[in-house]
Amino acid sequence: MSSVLLFLLLLSGGSLCGCIRLGNGGYEDWRMGTATYIKESMGHPLNDGGGACGYGDLDIFRYGRYTAGVSGALFGRGSACGGCYEVRCVNHVLWCLRGSPTVVVTATDFCAPNQGLPDDYGGWCNFPKEHFEMSEAAFLRVAKAKADIVPAQYRRVSCDRAGGMRFTITGGASFLQVLITNVAADGEVVAVKVKGSRTGWIPMGRNWGQNWQCDADLRGQPLSFEVTGGRGRTVTAYSVAPRDWMFAQTFQGKQFVE
């Protein structure tokens, strides 16, 4: 490579490693895994309010059709929920689309293991397999519909989200629970704190997926949230919910900015 071409590449922010640049200036290389898909005609737990991340209706929470359940090796007890992955089918001339195009999916569910089946026939989510059970729309961007399990490469990428983080509040008289969605940057949430007008900052624990909970009655107080992402960055969103908030309401707060 000539010195002039190298200078222009670096000036434009390009990379010599063929990696995706994450928001913190780091890079993540391609890793090997596998992929399958759920046919839309078969239905999916996420369409009726299920899903191990707790998102429910993915259209309401702005995750759309390009989603995937991930195996336990990737799920991390829910820490992967909301993370974005670039995936491509590789090394299979019959099933992969020509040129190995890529698609970016959001992790929105857990792909459960099946220890009674071999890894390459029904047990593809067995530990320590790194597997994506993709939506049909996402899978057809990289492979043919008649494919079964395909070899795939994947890498973490930054999530492009419109608007602020969304906080859906549930709970009861003695506890508060919040579902956090539409998270940009790495898409992950690893720590949450909540503050009422009459309290200090209260740490919340992960209940399941991206549902976070604390044992406190914060009714009648405006609520602020402190959210820490997977790369250690923290966003504080003050007075996200007004004093008269009600359970099952969703409010929008600040967002991670790349």
- Answer yes or no: are the C-beta atoms of 255 and 158 closer than 8 Å: no
- The 10s digit of each residue's pLDDT in 5-45 is 333 333 333 333 334 444 433 457 999 999 999 987 655 44
- The 10s digit of each residue's pLDDT in 76-87 is 989 999 999 999
pLDDT at 42: 55
By C-alpha distance, which of 226, 80, 215 is closest to 156? 80
pLDDT at 65: 87
**HSE-up of residue 193 (Cα within 13 Å, Cβ side):** 13
Burial (CB count within 10 angstroms: exposed 0-12, middle 13-18, buried 19+), residue 69? buried
Q: What span, in angstroms and rounded, lies between the C-alpha atoms of 132 and 74?
A: 9
3-class DSSP state of 117: coil
Average pLDDT, rounded, for the chain: 86
- 78, two tokens: 């829910």
Model pTM score? 0.84
- 25, two tokens: 């200036």
3-class DSSP state of 21: strand
- The 10s digit of each residue's pLDDT in 108-151 is 999 999 988 987 778 999 999 999 999 999 999 999 999 989 99
CA dist list (Å): 183 to 53, 87, 115, 188, 233: 13, 20, 33, 7, 12
State mean pLDDT over 100-113.
Answer: 94
- The 10s digit of each residue's pLDDT in 159-196 is 999 999 999 999 998 999 999 999 999 899 999 999 99
By C-alpha distance, which of 117, 140, 142, 136 is closest to 33? 142
Q: Which pLDDT band, with edges at 50, 70 and 90, does 50 fall under?
A: low
| Percent of the chain with pLDDT strictly greater than 90 | 71
Pairing mode, strands 131-135 and 67-70: antiparallel
Q: Which residues of 8-18 are buried (b: 16+ CB within 10 A; e: fewer)?
A: eeeeeeeeeee
Q: What span, in angstroms and rounded, lies between the C-alpha atoms of 173 and 179?
A: 17
Q: Which pLDDT band, with edges at 50, 70 and 90, does 1 fall under?
A: very low
Q: Is the predicted pLDDT of residue 59 greater than 70, yes or no? A: no
State mean pLDDT over 191-210.
Answer: 96
State mean pLDDT over 222-241.
Answer: 95
Question: In whole angstroms, what separates CA 119 from the centre of its chain?
Answer: 24
